[in-house]
Structure formats: C-alpha cells, structure tokens
Structure 1
Amino acid sequence: MSATLTTSEEAQLAQTIEMFEVITQSQSQDYQSLEILKEAYLKLGREKDVINTSKRIAQAYVQLGQLSSAILEYETVLQRYPGDPDVQAALKEIEIKANNFTAPPALSDSVIIDTAPDPAARFKKGVGGKVVPVDFDDGRQSMQKIFVEGRLISAGDFDLCWSTPDLSVPPIGVSEPFIQLLGDKGIMPSEKSLRILVERSRHAYVPIEKYDLDMELARKFPAEICRRWCILPFDKMSKTIFVATANPFNRQAAKDLAEATQNRLLWYLAPPAEIVKYLRKVFR
C-alpha cells in the first residue's frame, strides 16, 4: 500500500473499488469503468488485482472488436510478467481473429461527440448579455425515437413530459428529468425507463445512493448547468470526473459541463430522483 495515501484516501479508494466492481460485473464491456478500477487497485498497491483488471480490460476490447487496443493492454501485462500463459494464449487467439474480424462500434465514454460550434446555429442574448444557442441538441430526438417510435409511449405523453429549457434565463431549481416525469404521471415507471436507456445507450448504471458522493467536487461546477440539465458530478479519479445523468443523449449538457473543466468526463446513468435529491443538497 502506498505510504502517501491518507486513511481517508484509502477508504475512498476502497469504496470506489466496491462500486466499480459491481458496475463492471454487470457491464463486462465497459472498459472505461475497468480503467478506473485498475487505477484504484494500482494506487492501493494491489498488484495482482491490477493485472487481473488489465486482462479484463483487454477482454472487453476484444468483445468490442478493438483488437489493437486489446493487444496493447495485454502487452502491458507481459512487460511485468513476460511468461503469463493466459496472456500468451489470448494473443494467439487475437492473431487468429484479426484476419477476418469486423469491428463493431466502440463504447462511448461520453455523450459528447462533437463540441465544435455549428456555423448554421442561431443564437440570442440571455441574462447579463451572455450569448446562448437557440437551436441545440438536448437529446429530444434520440429519446423520442426510443420511447415514441419504439411504441413504448404515445407522442402525446412524450410532449406532456418533455421540457425544452430556455438557455437565456437561469433555471428555477432543479429541472426534473423526462423519465422521472414519466414515472410521476404514471405513464412508465422510472426504473423501467432507466433499464431501457442503459440497454440503448450502452452507458453503465451507478446507484449513487450507495456512493459516498463528493459534494465539494459538485460545487466546483456551475449550479446553473447542473440544475438545468439535472446532471451531477459525483466523484473524481485522477483526471477523470464521474457524472450522473438521466439523459445520456444530451449533447448540450455534455458541452456545457465540458467547458467548465479541463478534466475528462465519464458519464453514468443513475436514478433521476436520486440525482434531483443530491443536486438540491449540493446547491441549496
């Protein structure tokens, strides 16, 4: 165990490990969460767990068809243990697959894909003269495709529960997410909506009520952004910040939050009621 860690840091790392072991057991291809897990083990000096997690990361890459990344990860293990039979066997299997393997899309670690400004976008001035976009992607189209075109709810119910914010004015309190409103109005339980989003978005789920959230970290982000989009930065590992959301397709929320930090953002789906509850605690 590293002598530089305090008792508090060790306890936080232990909790991170416990939580992300649960996440990765149900999401075996979530290599980003596995990377977080690997780093936590490394900081605690748990060499055997570091190696085992590296192997799990490589296996996730193989499952996703990212063979080059898998090879690089396996090679990091061989640098420490050159004769590891599991790694040698896995590399032979990759060599066989590489000849006729078509890679599927990679798992995205963030809902944000392209944050470059759209030259055709329209803007207006908001409070304090701040220029804000009039046209933005808050995930409505993607959510509508899943819930309405997928015949899970009616178009009328979708419009009843979907709210598009006015970015020119600050939000009044925390905006309740779409899937929470579906549940509140008896249209679809939020638990069911959340399961559907986990399956369709390929983002991992985190039960944040069981997590020791870093309230001070959340307070470092603009309250306006977190309240408007109901997003919660809840922990940090090195240069990666974990963020809870109930709308994994909200590109504008991802863009706004990315502009508030130089750290990498890693997004997780969480129960909407819990996100709302903690945001109200953080930004009183």
Structure 2
Amino acid sequence: MSDSKPEDNRDMRASSANLRLAPAEIAETDLIIDGVSKRFNTREGTVTAVDGMSFSIERGEFVSIIGPSGCGKSTIFSILGGLVRSFDGRVTVNGEEISGPHPAIGMVFQEESTFPWRTVIDNVAFPLEVQGVAKAQRYEIARRFIDMVGLAGFEQRYPSELSGGMRQRVAIARTLVFEPKILLMDEPFAALDEQTRLLLGDKVLKIQQDLRQTTLLITHNITEAVQLSDRVIIMTFRPGRVKRIVDIRLPRPRHGDVVSSEAFGRYVAEIWSDLREEASRGMAETEAGARQSKA
C-alpha cells in the first residue's frame, strides 16, 4: 500500500511539469521560443511581463537567462514548463508546438520541494510510484540518479538530516528519474552559499554532459551563468526582452576552477555592464513609482 499523502500530489509540480515518463523515441529536443509575450491584469492595470521574446536552444546546449528583478525570467520558465498556458507567440519542442506540460521537459524549482516524511530514495522514486512502477524497479532507477547527484549512501536519510545543497540534489534527482530531454531550472541554487553553488554547479555540469540534456537555467547570479553556460541571454527590465546573447567560449569539460581565469573575469564584466544598465533603469522606475504613490 502506498504511503503517499495528499501533499505529495500537490507538491509534484516541484518535481516535474507532468507525471509521464519521457518517451524514449524523442530524439531531437531543440527548444524554440518565437515572439513570446505575456501580459497580466493587475489592480494598477495591464502589466506586460515579457514582450516578443525569441531565442532557440540546440540539443545538448546549456543556456542561462539572466536579468534584473522583475524582468520576466520566471514567467518565461513557467510558460516553457506549461504552468502558464495563455500567452502570445509560439513555443516548440522538436518542431511540435506546445501550450502546456510536455513529456520531454522536466523542471527544478527554487523552493524547497522534498517531502520531509520520505527518505531520499522514496523522494526520488515518488514520480515512478505515481506511475505504478514496481518497487524494485523504481528503487533501481532511483539509485542510479541518487548516485549521479553524489548522494550514494544517503538513500535512507530524511531531508531533515541533509544540508540545503543535498536537499536540492534530491529534488534534481527526482526530476531526472523522468529522464527528460530538456531540463528547466529556476534559480535552484539561490538559497545556497557561494562555495556550495560552485561545487553543485560542477555536479550539474557533469550530469548535463553525461545525459546530453538540453538545459535552460534561470538565474540572477552572473558567476553561475558564466560557469555553466554555452550562452547567456541577458534580458531587459520590464517588459522583458532579449537585450543581448553572449557566447561563452570557455573550454569543456568545465569545472569550478574556471572562475579564477582571466577569460572568465572578462565574461563576468561584459555581462555585468549590460545587467547594471537594466538594473539601474529598473531601480529608477521603481523609485519614481513609489514617489508618485506617496504624492
């Protein structure tokens, strides 16, 4: 008899956008975003979160999106993951236009998403349990991904016995059991210290290279974006648009020690120059709005 609780089903969105295993026959996983715009109705009126976003990600590529607070990064993440269905423009996966969750896409969220009453192996195996996979088989699959994220030996531990970085690795492993061809991550390391970020970044890169996954990372951390990415998409302040795309020509396989290189520093400075301009504009508009509301 399953020990799953109602909370399990409510929180499953934090492990993947859907509860279907990715079909093995999906070979091409190019992701194309074409003229995507999203507007929200608020008490102050209509707000355009993103406006005409267009870019593509090739198979096996690691791309980061970075921009100032409020630029619509997480809106793009939610649209691609199928959590927001009403938008203008088109999103296609391997030539198939999508408007909701897709079996080729897995999602990792910023928020803590492990089930505290479940051990590591039961957390990771939970999506397979929902699918009705036999216990022995789901444990075998779960162990593979637990080992991949560097948690072998911790299978019977509970989340309360793990560090924040280890809990986030459990969440990543739980998404990977779907074997998604495309992995979306929304600031998954935001709550971690800088050292843990770098070490976990190494682990994520190794997994991405081993699985040949197309990966899109939403982040506000320039160091993280440069460390991990083949390309970095810089967004403007609201409404979010593509300001510039920077190719990161650093050698692979890439490890955390690359951050000390001169080339790495140049990329960080280049991206910060664009980001500072947009962040300053956002701060000025926010301050002007606050003054008007007080008047």
Q: TM-score, length-normalised on structure 2?
A: 0.24
Higher share in strand: 2
**Structure with greater proportional helix content:** 1
Return the structure number with greater relative CO, CA threshold 8 A, min gap 6. Answer: 2
When the two structures are superposed, what TM-score results if normalisation uses the length of structure 1?
A: 0.24
